[in-house]
Amino acid sequence: MTVPVFREFLEQNPGVEIIMVSRKNFEALFAGVPNVTFKGIDLDDYKGLFGLRKLSNELIREFNPDCIANLHDVIRTKVLDRIYRRKGLKVFKIDKGKEEKEHLTDVWNLEKVQLKKTVERYADVFRKMGFKVELSHQLRPTSEHQSGIGFAPFAQHKGKMLPLEKSYELVRILAQRHTVYFFGGGKKETETLDRWESEIPNTKNLSGKLNLTEELNYIAGLELMISMDSANMHLASLVGTRCVSIWGATHPYAGFLGFGQSEEDVVQVKDLTCRPCSVFGDKECYRGDWACLEEFNIQKVIDRVNF
């Protein structure tokens, strides 16, 4: 979700350079963004306090930064913040709004309201530095020719994933009018999608066949992406592809709707007062029946696709 923020921030502040430090496998996400230098690292090389001190020294020596933007605010980056401050660098960190999100996901809270979007929280870090940033919240398609529908039926946590029998039926109906491309990862997901491809005409399984760059290029060429509240929604945003997103235990109110995606393309069970019960979908169902997913009507997705 940082990529579109970086792109628009740097367009509005020419002459600024961002050094993005993250895991090596995320490098493809930042390819093509002017004035972003990606520094990929292996976290196993920087374990513990001494490892983080080693990392901070290497980054200062290589890049000599003017200031530090902590866009993650986890234990590892909190330690790095302290090291950088001791070295005289100014550190600016994200406000995740943890208390607001705890209140939002309290099942007894009946006054659910939209919280600040996460991309605006990223932009706030640069605003604290004194820069002006106005996010457009608009998709930027990167491909002129778009056709077919992408479908990513999996998510990291159960609370974010439509039951597979519902996803199967959804694909079976959509594939009668559209070519449907499956996206996933890992052996079990690939095996499931291989079976779906063999059973449902007009589908193609791409799971396990593409690297991240190739996957982004494929999504860019789609007319539409269908995804859970998962990484695939955000990959669609990066390449300007419209995404119909499916939400279960989580909710766009927490601020994680993909950059530029329309709230009208959010599909969810709206009349459950317990939603959202989790920011990330990693909690057990309070009711025990997963009504947010079991009562989900796939016709609502079909209606958005054919809108």
Torsion sign (Cα): 195, 198, 203, 208? positive
| Rounded CA separation 241/142 (Å) | 8
3-state SS assignment for residue 54 = helix
| Rounded CA separation 1/7 (Å) | 11
Structure token pair of residue 101:
């999100």
| Rounded CA separation 172/270 (Å) | 25
pLDDT per residue rounded down to tens, the chain (307 residues)? 999 999 999 999 999 999 999 999 999 999 989 999 999 999 999 999 999 999 999 999 999 999 999 999 999 999 999 999 999 999 999 999 999 999 999 999 999 999 999 999 999 999 999 999 999 999 999 998 899 999 999 999 999 999 999 999 999 999 999 999 999 999 999 999 999 999 999 999 999 999 999 999 999 999 999 999 999 999 999 999 999 999 999 999 999 999 999 999 999 999 999 999 999 999 999 999 999 999 999 999 999 998 7
CA gyration radius, the chain: 21
- This prediction's pTM: 0.95
Cα separation of the two ends of the chain: 26
3-state helix, strand, coil split of the chain in percent (to 5) is 40, 15, 45
> Strands, E, within the chain: which ranges?
18-23, 36-41, 67-70, 90-93, 149-152, 180-182, 203-205, 224-228, 243-246, 266-267
3-state SS assignment for residue 99 = helix
| Rounded CA separation 60/21 (Å) | 12
Q: 123-131: long-range contacts at Cβ-Cβ below 8 A with a sequence spacing of 24 or more?
A: 123/5, 123/9, 124/94, 124/95, 125/69, 125/70, 125/71, 125/92, 125/93, 125/94, 126/9, 126/13, 126/69, 126/92, 128/92, 129/67, 129/69, 129/90, 129/92, 131/9, 131/12, 131/13, 131/16
Phi, psi dihedrals of residue 272, rounded to the nearest 5°: -105, 110
| Rounded CA separation 83/89 (Å) | 9
User: Quick check: 40 and 27 in contact, CB under 8 A?
Assistant: yes
Q: Which domains does the chain show, CATH number per domain?
A: 1-129 (3.40.50), 149-306 (3.40.50.2000)
Phi, psi dihedrals of residue 70, rounded to the nearest 5°: -95, 100
